[in-house]
Structure formats: C-alpha cells, structure tokens
Amino acid sequence: MNIDMIEAARKRLKGYSRVTPLLSSPFIDELAGRRVFVKAETLQHTGSFKFRGAWSAVSAMTEEKRKNGVLAFSSGNHAQGVALAAKNHGISALIIMPTDAPKMKIDNTRALGAEIVLYDRIKESREEIGEKISKDRGFTLIKPYDEPEVIAGQGTVGLEIIEQAKELDVDAKNLLVCCGGGGLTSGVAIGIAHYAPNISVRPVEPVGYDDVTKSLASGKIIKNKDGSGSICDAIVTPQPGDLTFPIMQKYCSSGLVVSDEDCLKTMAIAYSRLKIVLEPGGAVALASAIFKKKEVDGDDVIVIASGGNVDEGLFRSALEKYGNSF
C-alpha cells in the first residue's frame, strides 16, 4: 500500500463518488471546547465511505475477472457499496450478511440488486461461507478492509480532507476516524502521513470492541472477546486486519474509546446541529471529540462521520431521549 495507489483510486472515482463536505457548527464547537470539522461521509453514495472502496476495487479489476461477478461479506455498509458498484458496472453481486444486521441495510442491499446470504455471526464463519461460494460460483471476493484497492479507495477521504482543511484554514493536530477493521483508518493515515504529517490520525471505537486501540497499545493484534453486542454494528469486527494493522502501527497515534450511550447522544447532536443522520458506528469519532475532549489535542480537530444507515426505530429513540439535551 502506498500513496500512488490512493491517487490512482481517486482518478477512477472521479465523477462517480461524491466530494463530501467538511461541516462545522458553533454549538458543537462549544460542546467540544474547540473548533470541530466534520467530514460528512454519511452524504456519500449508499450512505457511507464504503462506496469509495467498493468502486475502487471493482473498477480496478480486469474485464475478464469482473464479468464473473463479485462477492462480499458485510453487516451492511460495505454490502451496499459493493452492490451499487457492481450494479453500475453491469455485473452480479452476492453479499453475505449477518442475521442481526439492521433491516434497513439488508433491504437496501437487496434493492440495489444484490443476492443476499444470511449467516449467524456467532456460530458461523463468513470467511468459510464466502470461500465456498466463491469456489462454487466463481465470484471474486472483495474484502471489507483487508484489500489493497478497498483501502486505496477509502483513503481518498483523507485526500479531500487535506484540501478542504487548507481552504478553511484548519490547523488540526488530531484527525479522528471511526474504526472497525481499519480500512478507512489505514487509507486515510497513508494520505495524511504523505501530505500533512503534522496531523495525528487516531482510530475511535466503541467500548468492548476496541481491538484496534488495544492492539496499537500492545504492539500485537488483539481480538475482541465478543462478535456482537454493540449498537455500532458497522464497526464491530473480530480483530484488526492483517494488512491494515501494520499500516496503522506505522502511521496512527493512540486510539479512543466511546460508549454506546455517547454515540446515541452524538446522533441527536449531529441531527440537531449539522442536519445530518448518523448511525451509531458512524458517530463514534464525533462522539470522542465531544465526550473525550480531554484526550484530544489542539484548538481544531477533524472527525470523519463515516455512515448514516440507521434503522428508523433506533434513530427515533436517540432523538426522543437526547434531542433536547444539547
């Protein structure tokens, strides 16, 4: 992985992905005690940054390889990104999704034309299921984070942030990134290290599923004890990726950890003050800027709001509980 791959992915994405805005609010600045700039990837196609990685991977394939179709496993955001990328390339897609994935994500993935296979994430291995289907039907597997072209596409978020921060005269010491397996974090970190090495990239995770934070602190890959249990389904992964972890070790600073409750509060704040919809996993970085502000450095901070695919019931409950609190 290198900056050339990310720049190449950016060229392939031009005209297909959205350049999402860098938003701010004086109300959020007051809560955080500093200026906060929010990269709103919730406004990306399919509601998250995952479209970038999916398009990058599909568009990088040879025509011969692509025509056989693609396979992915995902709780929903990578699923939707791959489904749309496949649809727009005129090829078939099969997505392996956990039975406890949000209904909205399953419905959207199916609506984008993908075939869906459901599995029990506690009792079954998505990797084993994917390997069998790929062998039987000839699909090409697009991994959600341990895939160079996926990382390259997701890394284009960082390139946009660098340009937008310069235009807005942002002088940030920290860039906070919602982190699961580390594809977005490692891709962004490569770009930041190359073009803005004064900024520290910091992964953010939910309590109990902070495998990246623990792994960075220990210097070796630490697995999560549980496979599910957090409302932050989008970033609950078994462990850091074999490809992403060395990149994060090289380019990232220490991680931050937030509670599910802080994520719900942040969803209400983002809707009220920025007029954007965030899912819990897409809210962790902003939550850390607001509720872990003593652990963040500098007068300015940049956060990535990485996804907005949340079921209506959960979103409504967050607004009802915290909508008038901030």
- Rounded Cα–Cα distance for residues 55 and 8 (Å): 12
Residue range 228-280, pLDDT digits in tens: 678 998 898 889 999 999 999 999 999 999 999 999 999 999 999 999 999 99
Query: Is the CA virtual torsion 86, 12, 196, 215 positive or negative?
Result: positive
Q: What share of the chain is helix, strand, coil (3-state, %, to 5)?
A: 50, 15, 35
User: What value does the mean pLDDT of the chain take?
Assistant: 95
Alpha helices in 61-210 (DSSP H): 63-66, 77-89, 103-111, 126-137, 148-167, 183-195
Rg (CA), the chain: 18
Mean per-residue pLDDT, 70-86: 93
> Which residue, among 18, 25, 19, has the nearest Cα to 275 in the 3D structure?
25
Which residues share a beta bridge with 94? 71, 115
Question: What stretch of H or E contains 32?
Answer: helix 26-32
Whether the predicted model's global pTM rises above the 0.85 cut: yes
Amino acid 127: pLDDT? 83
- In angstroms, rounded to a whole number, what is the distance separating the alpha carbons of residues 184 and 193? 14
DSSP 307: B
Q: Name 101's Cβ contacts closer than 8 Å, sequence gap at least 6.
A: 75, 76, 79, 233
pLDDT digits (tens, 9 = 90+) for 8-54: 999 999 999 999 999 999 999 999 999 999 999 999 999 999 999 99
Q: Please report the domains of the chain, with CATH numbers, ordered by start residue.
A: 3-49+148-322 (3.40.50.1100), 51-141 (3.40.50.1100)
User: CA-to-CA distance for 197 and 193, rounded, in angstroms?
Assistant: 4
